[in-house]
A and B are shown apart, each in its own frame.
Chain A
Amino acid sequence: MLTTVRDLFRYNREFRIGALLTAFIVAFAALSFASPYPPQDTFVVPPDVPPSAAYWFGTTSRGQDVFWQLTFAIRNTMLFGLCVAILSRMISIAIGMWSGYKGGFVDRVLMSINDTFIVIPLFPLLVLFYFVMRDKMSWPLLALAMACLGWSYDARLIRSVAMSLKSREFTQQSVFSGMRTREIVLQEHLPYVLPIVFYTTMNNMNWSIGLEVTLSVLGFTNIDTPTIGVMIYWANQHTAMVAGIWWWIFFPVLFVVVLFIGLFLLAISMNEYIDPRSRLARMGGMRE
């Protein structure tokens, strides 16, 4: 495992850059545990101070240090994205592989449900969700809601891989070796599905973070916990751009863009490495 990462780092430029960017963001987010100010507190520092030696990223109109706010914001945003991605992966793998392997009636039923979810307009639905939940709206709840909405594209993708695997001869070999369906799906087929899963995890993270930022900017989430979107929301509330407090918007945006790019680069470089075909080509080389 470690040699894999080391090889990737050494030879694949995308991975190097992606890993460095993401590591930087993660390190930055980890700084939040060292923050001198609790995230919810306001007016702990002089407001509207531009970036300077004392306050590296400046301060907001609410009297918060942008630097330390950002550490919380990026941490929460990342965790949110990760939760949504993991939960929705679990759903899409389960549905995709079951549907692909079983085929027939089960497949048809599941795919009808799947296609319904694809066409649901997510954004209005989430806004509606907010209006229904109002005060009870919290981040875990939102994460759950988004996870339940974000699995359908990838379930189809996984299903097509599962279907093609079913028709390959080694699947029949496994059946006639006495392997049970569960074993075949998990042990024989899953390694082929994992590259897609990994790639879609990164994709899904980007998607969920984007959606979260959108919702937060518009105020449709819990605006007490700082996230990137929430920071921008408050900046808009205080008309920061008009008032000239550009640093309040600039730094959150910069960091979320860096996170996006880092995740994206990781996804595409890991995908090339984990993909079974290229793995096989490498295996051929390793033995010699």
Chain B
Amino acid sequence: MSSAAASAAADARLSPERVLTVRDLRAYYRTNFFGMSREVRAVDGVSLHVDRDEIYGLAGESSCGKTTLIKTIVRAIRPPLDVVGGSVAFHFAGRERDIYAMSREELQSIRWRHLSYILQGSMNVLNPVRRVRQSFVDFSHRHIGKPMPEFLRLIEDHLDRVRLPPTVLDAYPHELSGGMRQRVTIALASVCRPDFIVADEPTTALDVVVQRDVLAMLREVQREIRSSMILVTHDIGVHANVTDRLGIMYAGRLVEEGPTGDVIRNPRHPYTSHLVTSLPRIGDVTPKRGLEGAPPNLAAPPEGCRFHPRCPLAIGTCRAEAPPMVDVAPGHRVACWVTAAPTAATVQ
């Protein structure tokens, strides 16, 4: 325990503005049904951190564990999902808090005020039988604590600053278009000016044109309230335009992480290079190829490096042992035996 505290203190000295620290997090789905048991290792040893006023992007395909990681970070887990190891610590208002050590009341008090989320289905958040104004009241009045007229003026102010027309407040969710609803959800998540916002595929279901405007709003909101954000999406194009740092997940593990520009311009992990270069662009007719194989089944993942069955560079060690995360440039780390072989100095 003391070594963890010491390393936490060390981290604090290095980056006094750190808002989220995730250490070696493991979260598995364990099911036991009619005598058959299954353990799906959705998140298997993920460590990352997010600083203040920074947008951290998480990229990966389906079943890489990124949604489970998000759920685990905000403690929105229910059986059969269980945290089996590691820790998630937030730094709000000067104090480090382990989210799994908090009581019910503490959790209630930080939710929405310090930690809020934007989900993929906006209809899941907005109450379909109440007007939008009522949703704002339901979610945030308790945290802001001002009398109602003042609170309502505050909301209108907030909408004005994020350039949403105030008429939105009188509407029912189904009267708004998908893009509009999603922007209302963003306004809702940011009205209390939380320290941390988690956005899980906020624009995936939207049209391309609408997506651009929703992302614009997201970035503006973040700049305005200077919160930290984790943005989860499989679309690298979105990451290139919005995020500051980028983490690539594959089969429950982080395989590469670094400043977005670095990761996209100089991808070191073979999976990242494939993600970045394989999709076609307008103006480019060079042949592209898909990867062989398919993302692994997380109930029985491959031994060693989980990418090795599909990796064009795989060598013997890859099949036997999982590679550690190694620094290849300031702030840029990669887990690969071939492109980032660890030495004593660089191993994390």
What is the interface of chain A, defined by CB distance below 8 A to chain B?
7-8, 10-12, 273, 278, 281-282, 284-286, 288
Contacts and interface: CB of A to CB of B under 8 A. Distances in A.
A112 B182 CA distance: 43
A285 B300 CA distance: 11
Contacts of B297: 288
A12 B34 CA distance: 8
Interface in B284-327: 297, 299-300
Nearest to B31: A285
B35 A10 contact: yes
Contacts of A278: 33
Given A7-B34, A8-B34, A10-B34, 14 more contacts: A10-B35, A11-B35, A273-B34, A281-B33, A282-B33, A282-B34, A282-B36, A284-B38, A285-B36, A285-B37, A286-B36, A288-B38, A288-B299, A288-B300
13 contacts: A10-B34, A10-B35, A11-B34, A11-B35, A273-B34, A278-B33, A282-B33, A282-B34, A285-B37, A286-B36, A288-B38, A288-B297, A288-B300
Nearest to B36: A285
Interface of B: 31, 33-38, 297, 299-300
Contacts of B300: 288
A11 B31 CA distance: 14
A278 B34 CA distance: 11
A167 B299 CA distance: 32
Contacts of B36: 282, 285-286
B253 to A, nearest CB: 20
B35 A7 contact: yes
A286 B34 CA distance: 10
A288 B37 CA distance: 9
Closest A-B pairs by Cβ, 4 of them? A285-B36, A7-B34, A285-B38, A11-B34
Contacts of A11: 34-35
A92 B327 CA distance: 67
Nearest to A4: B34
A267 B37 CA distance: 25
B212 to A, nearest CB: 30
Residue from the set A8, A10, A285, A286 with the largest chain B CB neighbour count within 10 Å: A285
A8 B33 CA distance: 10
Contacts of B31: 281, 285
B300 to A, nearest CB: 6
A48 to B, nearest CB: 51
Contacts of A286: 36
Nearest to B38: A285
A281 B297 CA distance: 14
A79 to B, nearest CB: 32
Contacts of B38: 284-285, 288
Contacts of B299: 288
A281 B31 CA distance: 10
- The residue among A10, A273, A282, A288 with the most chain B CB atoms within 10 A of its own CB is A288
A285 B30 CA distance: 11
Contacts of A281: 31, 33
A273 B36 CA distance: 14
Contacts of B37: 285
A211 B35 CA distance: 40
Contacts of A10: 34-35
Contacts of A282: 33-34, 36
A7 B38 CA distance: 16
Contacts of B35: 7, 10-11
Contacts of B33: 278, 281-282, 285
A244 to B, nearest CB: 50
Q: Please indicate which of the listed interface residues B35, B36, B37, B299 has the most CB atoms of chain A within 10 Å of its own CB.
A: B36
A11 B300 CA distance: 25
A12 B32 CA distance: 12
A175 B31 CA distance: 37
Nearest to A282: B33
A282 to B, nearest CB: 6
Q: Interface centre among B33, B37, B297, B299, by most A CB within 10 Å?
A: B33
B299 to A, nearest CB: 5
B268 to A, nearest CB: 33
A273 to B, nearest CB: 8
Contacts of A8: 34
B215 to A, nearest CB: 30
Question: Looking at A10, A273, A282, which has the most chain B CB atoms within 10 Å of its CB?
Answer: A282
Nearest to A278: B33
A284 B33 CA distance: 11
B294 to A, nearest CB: 15
Nearest to A284: B38
A10 B297 CA distance: 29
Nearest to A10: B35
Nearest to A273: B34
A185 B335 CA distance: 52
A10 B36 CA distance: 12
A286 B31 CA distance: 12
Residue of B34, B36, B37, B38 with most partner-chain A CB within 10 A: B34
B333 to A, nearest CB: 32
Nearest to A286: B36
Nearest to B300: A288
Nearest to A8: B34
B25 to A, nearest CB: 23
A272 to B, nearest CB: 10
B246 to A, nearest CB: 32
A109 B299 CA distance: 51
A285 to B, nearest CB: 4
B79 to A, nearest CB: 14
Contacts of A288: 38, 297, 299-300
